[in-house]
A = this chain, B = another copy of it.
Amino acid sequence: MERIPILRIGDLLLVSIQVDMHDRLAMTLQDDLTDRIVKDRAKGVLIDISALDLVDSFIGRMISNTAAMARVLDAQTVLVGMQPAVAITLVELGLTLPGVKTALNVEKGIALLGKSYQS
């Protein structure tokens, strides 16, 4: 079965989205991720979307929901690697990503998460 791998780095989890999202894949990812947050006692989740040329309202909502799920499990989510064209489209379409922090790349995302729970 197709699923998106979740990589653990210290107390963070990294998800790199490279394939087109559809309903079932998104649900599987949310199931897997919430399981892993609990099992690995993760304090943060990095979602990398550098491979995506397009973020539509479905993916936007999926990311927001995932971040909300992580939050109630006491993990913070940072969205990283957004392409400039995706940022332009998001704003032009009026899409917001409520409750989701963003960072330029994985490294800056790790730094952002580090600051927010180590301080």
Using a CB–CB cutoff of 8 Å, the interface residues on chain A facing chain B are 3-5, 7-10, 14, 16, 18-19, 48, 50-51, 81, 105-107, 110
Q: Contacts A16-B18, A18-B18, A19-B19 given; indicate if A8 touches B51 (C-beta within 8 A).
A: no
- The reply to whether B3 and A105 contact each other, CB–CB distance below 8 Å, is no
Copies of the chain in the assembly? 2
New A-B pairs, 10, CB < 8 Å, besides A9-B106, A9-B107, A16-B18: A4-B18, A5-B16, A5-B48, A5-B81, A7-B48, A7-B106, A8-B106, A8-B107, A9-B9, A9-B110
- The reply to whether A10 and B107 contact each other, CB–CB distance below 8 Å, is yes
Cα distance A107–B48 when bound, in Å? Answer: 18
Cα distance A40–B37 when bound, in Å? Answer: 30
Shortest C-beta distance, A61 to chain B (Å), equals 22
Q: Contacts A16-B16, A16-B18, A18-B19 given; indicate if A50 touches B106 (C-beta within 8 A).
A: no
